[in-house]
Structure 1
Amino acid sequence: MNKKMFPKIYYYDQDFIDIYNKSLSWIQDKVILQKVADRGKKDKNYYSENCDYIDQMQACMSSFFLVYSNGEYSSTSAIDKFYQLQEESGAIRARYDNNNAVIDLDENEENIGFPIFAWAEYNLYHKTGNKKRISEVLPILDKYYKWIESKFLKENGLYSIDVNKIFYKNSPRADAYYPIDFNSLQVHSAYCISKLADILNDKNLSLEYKKRFFSLKVKINSLMWSEKDGFYYDLDVNENILEIKTIVGFFPMLSEIPSEDRIERMIFYLKSNNHFGTPNPFPTLSVSEPGFSEDGNGYYGSVYTYMNFFVIKGLEYCGRANIAREFTIRHLYYILDTLMPFNKIKGHIWEAYKPMQEGPAYFDFNKKIYTEKGLICYLALFSISLMIENIIGLTISLPDKTVYWNIPTLEIMGIESLSLKKNQTTIICNKGKRGWEIKMESEKLYYFTINILNKKEKTLPIPSGRCSMLLDKL
């Protein structure tokens, strides 16, 4: 595979470079070509873990790393397949087969998936700067949101859905009637739709979704937060808090719902080895809960990589980039230890891992059934997306023509051939004879903001061509 499809990364730990490069080759095996009707047009490709069906969660999540493929792989075509199948009611189902028929999922009457389309589109806009796409997808997102609203919004202003049957098999949340995760993802959708409407200067739609966002935010903060515990919980059918600490209690951070004081109280649980700060972070159930299992046992303690992605991004959005980086590195090391164990026997990529040691988690410990094997999509969220954005520390916004680099430590790191639309950019931090310096190469002007060790931040215009700057001089 030509690795120049994706940027080349520089990092002081070769194992991280290796898993990044391996992920690139594994992705190639998951990209499916579909023939297009017009001759002369390039065949479109889309990402799918399974040749027999497309999955909404994987379609949305894959966009977070395919967007770095320099246009070689489409980050939108898998999502577009779902948009094309939207029903008149606004419904979009979680899975479709190759004949575009809905795949019925056990006990999921509406065949609904997590409401994350709007989040994926908001991220894509900042990575691609494609304003035209927003005008095309915004009506779809609006209809989809309102369909969910019509089906699952209750009179108290919260959403009710049986997540235990629909999303999480073998979970300790049997009594959850108002789930904190679904409400958090739906409020994040409202937040993203309002931002996308702002980009198009659609003031009416923006105001409409700002109202939805603030209304649901208030409900989550007033009904689902425990001031006593400093944690967000599910509610039962009578709106009573269910005091079971699960990883989804951190999902409100995605839309910056908690205040600064609440964020600090929540982070305590992420750091505590009595709760979610296990050697391999983060278990789906707190260590302090009676049902916690060191073997995983589904959502009784397994470390699900895709759920970690939600938490890491929540920390980042709440201004906790350094903590997010620390947890990203820790989880990635456990993925590496499971893939390349000390006994030299080749390992595998898994959907979930054990919280206390390397190795795959059990989905059902009693039946000795492991979680799913070989899911590259969720690995690539860490080994590509978070590798670039949280470990190396680069945040890109093409509409703003800006690259933000949070340099957490003075080590060799950087990126080569990063595509900023039609601008190939290289940014590398290295130690030369004159000290630590950043070498840059760009085809066009952009603005570069650098945060050095969380002590000093500076924004500079970077001209086309090559240049370098000494960190001591900044």
Structure 2
Amino acid sequence: MKSITTLLFILSFFFIPDVVVAQNYVDTYILDSLVSENSFLAKKPNTSSTPVYENIKVKLPEPIWPARKDVISCYWKAWQLAFLNVHSVTAENGFLEPYIDPAFNKHIFMWDTSFMVLFGRYGHRAFNFQASLDNLYHKQHKDGFICREISTLDGNELFERFDASSTGPNIMPWAEWEYFLNFDDKVRLQKVFAPLLAYYRWFRTNRSWPDGAYFSTGWGCGMDNQPRVPKGFNNEFSHAFMSWIDTSLQEVFAGKILIAMARKLGREKDVINIETETDQLTHHINTRMWDEKTSYYYDRFRDGSLSNVKSIASFWALLAEVVPSNKLDKFISHLENPREFARLHRVPMLSADHPVFTPGGNYWQGGVWAPTSYMVLRGLTKYKRDSLAFEIAYNHLDNVVKVYNQTGTLWENYAPDRVEGKYQKDLVGWTGLVPISVLFEYVFGLRPNVPENMIVWDVRLTDEFGIKKYPFKAKGLINFWAAKRKKNTDEPRIKVESNIAFDLKLIWTGGTRVIHVKPIRS
């Protein structure tokens, strides 16, 4: 009887007139015309195979440091692990280009990928690491949104776009600008400008408060277990009605880079509003998110009060260049305070005077992470605090290498108060920044600027050291060598061999001089 009743009900559904089938979702997309310029959307996948480390090692730069062979060994281990995590596109994930994977959970991440290409640019002759970002541009929505996390197995996005944790941090412009400063590739700059600007505009529309500040979540900002939100809110997934200091600073930083890109491309009209916004947001950060008593930038709560959590998030202020001269010394002094950030291994994610700071790290509650330490270093360079940057960089590299000597590998993050790798091992991943980018740019002191045809060589080591096959511009290869010195005030005795001409700005504790390097004739 029951089955007959069910059958009659089903039949009646098909024969009763005016039955309306409900629509599942309303299309809420507000189209951004810039997305129509995104050439990555229609591009065909690059199905080429990925390189094998042993076969392409000869194309990588070769550092020299006779007194620290362990550092050199760690350097090569980083590249070996990086190439183990390079993968081809698949029909299932629908990616566009072979890519480096974060070696974490079978997903690509927006900020992991951005940081990985920052060291990957040094291996560009062996593999196009920069194209890893193309897979994110390829997944851009028609309103400009790009998801922060995408599966490498099936290409599915891990978040719905209006979820407060769905995207960020907005640092892809930085990753592209650094590539441009190394290779002067205006063709790529032209291609990435529109998707980056469209994403910036989506982020401004959907992640800002009426006062102009920005919000995120623990997951959205990438530092999921930091104690930043007030009691009663979810630490990982709630924006807690806060103005988030790192998210606001990153938007200033991204905006300034987009303005610089626009000037290179003759598209200044596209960024007029951004110039106004960065000025207004900078003012807001310095008047409403700065505490004069402690000389620090903080998250701001809904009632206008400031947090008391000194997070490494605030040091994005250096890269964004928002710190006024009258605030700078006191702000930077936190990095030199052993009770705060100057721990055994620098720089921890959370100031050591916070109650939940953990000497063993506990992820973002005190752990030392390669990407954020690199951010601090690059920020110090913006303000010409390179002596402190060298001190922090040497400490960071030395501790990572000590753990490498003990374990034979690199780790997801490190303990701040003891020599110990934490959580996932063999992670390259962004930890490759330390034995590659930090070594080259801060311990060895080589920082390129291809558009100006210049390399700054800030020589602070007194050991003999150098690099062979250092990449510069599209086809430039340079050998650098510095002799051992008795003291750092001695002018370095150097040797430079190059296949292209460039200007070398040599800096040491005792002076500065500019050398015009001529190419060696073959």
Question: TM-score by structure 2 length?
Answer: 0.80
**Which letter maps to 2:397?**
L
1:370-424 per-residue CA deviation (whole Å, 9 max, x = no partner) reads x333321222111101111111001111122111111113321221111222121
Aligned to 2:403: 338
Q: Which position in structure 1 is the counterpart of 2:442? A: 390
In structure 2, the residue corresponding to 1:23 is in which secondary structure?
helix
Tell me, in whole angstroms, the C-alpha distance in 2 between the residues paired with 1:105 and 1:358: 40
Shift of 1:108: 4.9
Q: CA deviation at 1:280?
A: 0.7
Amino acid at match of 1:290: P
**RMSD of aligned alpha carbons:** 2.4
- 1:469 alignment partner in structure 2: none
Check if 1:52 corresponds to 2:106.
yes
CA contact 1:46–1:73 (8 Å) conserved in 2: no
Structure 2 equivalent of residue 18 of structure 1: 73
Q: Match for residue 63 of structure 2? A: 9
Structure 2 residue aligned with 1:377: 429
Q: Is the 1:393–1:405 Cα contact (8 Å) retained in structure 2?
A: yes
Aligned to 2:373: 308
Percent identity reads 22
Whole-angstrom CA distance in 1 between matches of 2:483 and 2:276? 47
CA distance in structure 1 between the aligned counterparts of 2:493 and 2:404, rounded to whole angstroms: 34
Taking the aligned partners of 1:443 and 1:23, their CA distance within structure 2 comes to: 27
Deviation at 1:166, TM superposition (A): 6.1
2:174 is aligned to 119
Question: 2:87 is matched with which residue?
Answer: 32
Deviation of 1:9 (Å): 1.0
**Which aligned pairs between 1:281-360 and structure 2 lie closer than 5 A?**
281-341=346-406, 346=407, 348-360=409-421
For residues 173-223 of structure 1, give each alpha carbon's deviation from its aligned partner in whole angstroms, at most 9, with x where no partner exists.
122611111111111100110111111122213433222221211111111
- Structure 1 CA distance for aligned equivalents of residues 438 and 253 of structure 2: 20
SS at match of 2:122: coil
**Equivalent of 1:445 in 501, 513, 516:** 501
* 1:307-329 deviation digits (Å, cap 9, x = unpaired): 21221211122211221121111
- Residues 163-178 of structure 1: pairs in structure 2 closer than 5 A: 163=218, 167-175=222-230, 177-178=242-243
SS in 2 for 1:79: helix
Show the counterpart of 1:239. Answer: 304
Secondary structure class of the residue paired with 2:512: strand
Q: Which of 478, 494, 503 lines up with 1:425 in the alignment?
A: 478
Q: Where do 5+ consecutive residues of structure 1 fail to align?
A: 37-42, 362-370, 467-474
Instruction: Return closer, same or farther for 1:411/1:249 CA change in 2, 3 Å cut-off.
Output: same
Letter in 2 for 1:189: A
Measure the CA separation in 2 of the matches of 1:224 and 1:119. Answer: 23
Query: After TM superposition, where is structure 1 displaced by more than 4 Å over at least 4 residues in a row?
Result: 105-110
Cα contact 1:93–1:110 (8 A) shared by 2:
no
User: Which residue of 145, 158, 167 maps to 1:103?
Assistant: 158
Q: Which amino acid aligns with 2:449?
A: S
1:331-361 residue CA offsets vs partner (Å, 9 max, x unmatched): 22222222323xxxx3543222211111134
What code does the residue aligned with 2:176 have? E
Provide the C-alpha distance between the structure 2 equivalents of 1:162 and 1:443, rounded to a whole number of angstroms. Answer: 48
Cα gap change, 1:306 to 1:105, in 2 (>3 Å): farther
Give the Å deviation of 1:17: 1.3
Cα offset for 1:465?
Answer: 1.1
2:345 and 2:399 in contact (8 A); partners too? yes
The letter for the 2-side match of 1:67 is R
Question: C-alpha separation between the residues in 1 aligned to 2:448 and 2:280?
Answer: 30
- 1:418 to 1:164, Cα distance in 2 relative to 1, 3 A: closer
Q: Give the alignment's TM-score, normalised by structure 1.
A: 0.88
Deviations 1:12-52 (A, max 9, x none): 4222111111112111101113489xxxxxx9532113483
The yes-or-no answer on 1:462 pairing with 2:492 is no
The counterpart of 1:79, out of the listed 105, 130, 133, is 133
CA deviation after TM superposition for structure 1 residue 141, in Å:
0.9
Give the structure with higher Rg (CA). 2
Structure 1 counterpart of 2:44: none
**Structure 1 residue matching 2:455: 3-state secondary structure:** strand
- Check 1:207–1:104 CA distance in 2 against 1; reply closer, same or farther (3 A cut): closer
Q: How far apart in 2 are the matches of 1:140 and 1:107?
A: 19
CA change 1:252–1:436 in 2 (3 A) is: closer
State the number of aligned residues. Answer: 445
Paired position in structure 1 for 2:143: 89
**Contact 1:164/1:173 (8 A) holds in 2:** no
- Displacement of 1:464: 1.0
1:252 equivalenced with 2:317 (yes/no): yes
Q: Distance in 1 between matches of 2:455 and 2:301?
A: 44
Give the conservation status (yes or no) of the 8 Å contact 1:91–1:144: yes
Closer/same/farther in 2, CA of residues 107 and 243 from structure 1, 3 Å limit? farther
**How far apart in 1 are the matches of 2:168 and 2:426?**
21
* Preserved CA contact (<8 Å) 2:75 2:435: yes
Q: Is the 8 A contact 2:166 2:220 kept in 1?
A: no
- Contiguous gaps of at least 5 residues in structure 2: 1-53, 231-239, 486-490
Describe the shift of the 1:215–1:134 C-alpha distance in structure 2 as closer, same or farther (beyond 3 A).
same
Specify which structure has the higher proportion of strand: 1
CA distance 1:72–1:261, shift in 2 (3 Å): same
SS in 2 for 1:92: coil
Matched with 1:405 is 457
CA distance in 2, matches of 1:358, 1:156: 44
DSSP 3-state at the match of 1:448 = strand
Note if contact 1:31-1:48 (Cα within 8 Å) is conserved in structure 2. Answer: yes
**C-alpha distance in 2 between matches for 1:236 and 1:87:** 31
Using a 3 Å threshold, how does the CA distance of structure 1 residues 260 and 296 change in structure 2: closer, same or farther?
same
